[in-house]
Amino acid sequence: MNVEAVIFDWGGTLTPWHTVDEAELWRSVCARHFPAGHGDRAAALHAAAQERWRMAQTSQLSSTIGQVFELAGVEPTEELLASYFHAWEPHTYTDPDASTLLSYLRAGRIRTGVLSNTMWPRTWHEDVFRRDGVLHLIDGAVYTSEIDRTKPHRAAFLAAMAAIGVSDPQACVFVGDRPFDDIHGAKSLGMRAVLLPNDVVPPFNGTEPDAVIGRLSELAPLIDSWNGG
């Protein structure tokens, strides 16, 4: 079956993988807003974020950044949230290959989507894509902060398909950097799956990807080959 849609993971895929010291990030954010006792608040926020990610990994239950602050017992003021988002900015820049690839897919009438395990609100992700000039090239997106489940739960993949108006998983390709969340999750639903690996994300030996690429620019000829080009 020809490829009608390509759905991308965000962090580590459309945005290249960055190793981030999240404990230090929380400390730097809190230090700006809490002259006294910022270390305790930062530690509580880091622990709360780690706990919410554990829920995603063990039960595929989604979370929001608001729930992280609530669990930590810290008031999420607009200023504090803005500082947190700004602290992540160096790690959010879209891969330079993405614009050309997304334009190629659009020219070929192949729909494009994003499915990201994230606690961030949609507006933050859209601000990133808008800043980098690719928001208009994405037909639909699902951020798990808006739904009940995270990848690899099938509900997350079905939501992403619905967001771009595609009903048959066999017509979809999922591209991601996580062998379990992305590759296993997509193939369990019947999608083709392409792995963009890095040296940090742990392997998962239960499911093999349909293809492995070293950079996003390698996806276009692969899609061409699957569509008989």
Q: Are both 173 and 115 inside the same structural domain?
A: yes
Give the contacts of 113 (CB within 8 A, at least 6 positions apart): 5, 6, 7, 8, 138, 139, 140, 141, 142, 160, 161, 163, 164
Predicted pLDDT at 200: 86
Q: Are both 201 and 218 inside the same structural domain?
A: yes
Predicted pLDDT at 49: 98
| Number of independent structural domains in the chain | 2
Q: Are both 127 and 155 inside the same structural domain?
A: yes
Domain end among 90, 108, 142: 90
Domain end among 44, 67, 90: 90
Rounded Cα distance between 196 and 185, Å, is 15
Q: Are both 160 and 181 inside the same structural domain?
A: yes
Q: Are both 102 and 207 inside the same structural domain?
A: yes
Q: Are both 112 and 188 inside the same structural domain?
A: yes
Domain end among 67, 90, 113: 90
Q: Which domain holds residue 147?
A: 5-16+93-226
CATH number at residue 116: 3.40.50.1000
Per-residue pLDDT of the chain (229 residues; tens, 9 = 90+): 899 999 999 999 999 998 999 999 999 999 999 988 789 999 999 999 999 999 999 999 999 999 999 999 999 999 999 999 999 999 999 999 999 999 999 999 999 999 999 999 999 999 999 999 999 999 999 999 999 999 999 999 999 999 999 999 999 999 999 999 999 999 999 999 999 998 888 888 889 999 999 999 999 999 999 998 7
Predicted pLDDT at 38: 83
Q: Are 98 and 134 in contact (CB under 8 A)?
A: yes
- Please tell me the pTM assigned to this model: 0.96
The residue with tokens 């730097």 is 28
Token pair of 153, please? 């739960």
